Structure 1
Amino acid sequence: MKASPEAQSRLLDLQAVDTALAQLAHRRKSLPELAEIDAVAREISALEDERARAQVAVDDLERDISRFEKDIEQVRLRKSRDQARLDAGGALREIEGLQHELATLNRRQSELEDAELELMEQKETADAALAEVQQRINAAVGRRDEAERRRDEAYGEITKEQEFKSSARGPLAADLPADLVALYDKIRLDSGLGAALFQSGRCGGCRIELYGADLARVKAAAADDVVRCEECRRIMVRTKESGL
């Protein structure tokens, strides 16, 4: 392929723009905020599981306390009925039976109230644990939101730079021979770098130094020959800096 030395030299400008665009694309995909957001998301997921377990513990205790309250209320109602019957008087045998039953109900009520008190203390602890894990969730969500804000801010800056670089690339590529740009783009898409400066006997793409026949081939090539590296196949652009 043939192309003027000027056109080949301008390939380096095009490559500089494409390299900048590639770096911006890599930066977009590797922002530290992305890893932070992923880590916090996993933390929130684990905390949500912990919160669910804490909520189940609270719900179970509330259900048990409610059951004890119903049992205690039933004992109180029965005590009230027995006391009313006792106050109304009656046969000695019946009175003794009511007194015995009231004593039994008093013990039962005391046992139920002690058990309920213990459950209420457990629920207080469970409520505190639930509130604590919810606080940790809120803090993690706050960190995630802040990381997302910084990510979006960085995305905005990257997008502006990409738009600026892309707007410069179009006219630059349009001024070059179409076949040269097509070859350059094919190489670049395959390897990430389409053209590089040949300098001090070394390919700027793969950094391999040329000797003997390979170097003689480059030196002997006409100025408008498009020379490619035998190793990496990239276009080697020769300029005054090449030292040929």
Structure 2
Amino acid sequence: MKAAPEAQRRLLDLQAIDTSLAQLAHRKRTLPELAEIDAVARELSALEDERVRAQVAVDDLDRDISRYEKDIEQVRVRKDRDQQRLEAGGALREIEGLQHELATLNRRQSELEDAELELMEQREAAEQTLNAVLQRLAEAGARRAAAEQRRDEAYAEIAKEQEFKSSARGPLAADLPPDLLSLYDKIREDSGLGAALVRSGRCGGCRIELYGADLARVKAAPADEVVRCEECRRIMVRTPESGL
């Protein structure tokens, strides 16, 4: 393939832009915020499981406490009824029976209240556990929001740089011979680098020094000949600093 030396040298400018665009794309894919957001998302998922378990524990205790409250209230109602009957008087046997039942109800009420108190203490501990999980959820959510904001700011900055580089690439690429540009793009798509400067007798693509028949071939090639490296197959752009 033939191409004017100046056109070949412009490939280096195009490659510099493409390298910058590739670096920007890589930076976008590997932002530290992305890994942080993923890690926090996993943490939030685990914390949400903890929250559900803690909430279930509190709800179960609330249900049990409510049941005890109803039982205690029923005992109180029976006590009030028996006390009224006792105060109304009656046969000795009936009075003795009421007194015995009142004593039994008092013991039952005491047992129920003790059990309820124990449950209320358990509920207080369960609620503290739930509140701690909710606090950790809130903190993790705030960290995720902050990381997402930093990610979005980085995305915006990268997009701005990409737009600037792409706007510079368009006219430069349009000014190159179509066949040369096509060859360059194909090589770049395969290896990430389509053209490289030969400096001091060394290929700028694979960094291998030219010698022997390969060096003679490159030296003998006309200035308008598009020369490719035998090792990496990239276009070797020759300039006065190539040392040929």
TM-score by length of 1: 0.98
Q: Which residue matches 1:147? A: 147
The Cα offsets for residues 160-182 of structure 1, whole Å up to 9 and x where unpaired, read as 00000000000000111010000
Q: How does 1:73-84 map to 2 (within 5 A)?
A: 73-84=73-84
Q: What is the CA–CA distance in structure 1 between the aligned matches of 2:147 and 2:153, rounded to whole Å?
A: 10
Q: Which residue matches 1:95? A: 95
The alpha carbon displacement at 1:81 in A equals 1.1
Q: Which residue matches 1:161? A: 161
Q: What is the CA–CA distance in structure 1 between the aligned matches of 2:88 and 2:209, rounded to whole Å?
A: 118
Q: What is the CA–CA distance in structure 2 between the aligned matches of 1:212 and 1:178, rounded to whole Å?
A: 33
Instruction: Give the percent of matched residue pairs that are identical in Structure 1 and Structure 2.
Output: 83
Q: What is the CA–CA distance in structure 1 between the aligned matches of 2:67 and 2:78, rounded to whole Å?
A: 17
Q: Which residue matches 2:133? A: 133
Q: Which residue matches 2:192? A: 192
Instruction: Specify every segment of 5 or more residues in structure 2 that has no aligned partner in the other structure, as ranges.
Output: none
The alpha carbon displacement at 1:153 in A equals 0.6
The Cα offsets for residues 109-135 of structure 1, whole Å up to 9 and x where unpaired, read as 000001101111111111111111111
Q: Which residue matches 1:49? A: 49
Q: What is the CA–CA distance in structure 2 between the aligned matches of 1:65 and 1:108, rounded to whole Å?
A: 16
Q: Which residue matches 2:174? A: 174
Q: Give secondary structure in 2 for the equivalent of 1:98.
A: helix
Q: Are positions 1:118 and 2:111 aligned together?
A: no
Q: What is the CA–CA distance in structure 2 between the aligned matches of 1:3 and 1:91, rounded to whole Å?
A: 128
Q: Give secondary structure in 2 for the equivalent of 1:120.
A: helix
Q: What is the CA–CA distance in structure 2 between the aligned matches of 1:240 and 1:171, rounded to whole Å?
A: 26
Range that drifts further, 95-104 or 201-210: 201-210
The alpha carbon displacement at 1:206 in A equals 1.1
Q: What is the CA–CA distance in structure 1 between the aligned matches of 2:127 and 2:207, rounded to whole Å?
A: 66
Instruction: Specify every segment of 5 or more residues in structure 1 that has no aligned partner in the other structure, as ranges.
Output: none
What amino acid sits opposite 2:242 in the alignment?
S
Q: Which residue matches 2:9? A: 9
What amino acid sits opposite 1:211 in the alignment?
Y
Q: What is the CA–CA distance in structure 1 between the aligned matches of 2:215 and 2:46, rounded to whole Å?
A: 62
The Cα offsets for residues 83-133 of structure 1, whole Å up to 9 and x where unpaired, read as 111111111111111111110100000000011011111111111111111
Q: What is the CA–CA distance in structure 2 between the aligned matches of 1:208 and 1:14, rounded to whole Å?
A: 22
Q: Which residue matches 1:34? A: 34
Q: Are positions 1:183 and 2:183 aligned together?
A: yes
Q: What is the CA–CA distance in structure 2 between the aligned matches of 1:240 and 1:8, rounded to whole Å?
A: 13
Q: Which residue matches 1:109? A: 109
Q: What is the CA–CA distance in structure 2 between the aligned matches of 1:209 and 1:98, rounded to whole Å?
A: 112
Q: Which residue matches 1:221? A: 221
Q: What is the CA–CA distance in structure 1 between the aligned matches of 2:166 and 2:25, rounded to whole Å?
A: 12
The alpha carbon displacement at 1:48 in A equals 0.7
The alpha carbon displacement at 1:33 in A equals 0.8
What amino acid sits opposite 1:164 in the alignment?
F
Q: Which residue matches 2:19? A: 19
Q: Which residue matches 1:86? A: 86
Q: What is the CA–CA distance in structure 2 between the aligned matches of 1:240 and 1:46, rounded to whole Å?
A: 63
The alpha carbon displacement at 1:200 in A equals 1.8
Q: Give secondary structure in 1 for the equivalent of 2:196.
A: strand
Q: Give secondary structure in 2 for the equivalent of 1:207.
A: coil
Q: What is the CA–CA distance in structure 2 between the aligned matches of 1:70 and 1:209, rounded to whole Å?
A: 92
The Cα offsets for residues 8-37 of structure 1, whole Å up to 9 and x where unpaired, read as 000000000000000000011111111111
The Cα offsets for residues 195-232 of structure 1, whole Å up to 9 and x where unpaired, read as 00111221111111222111111111111110011111
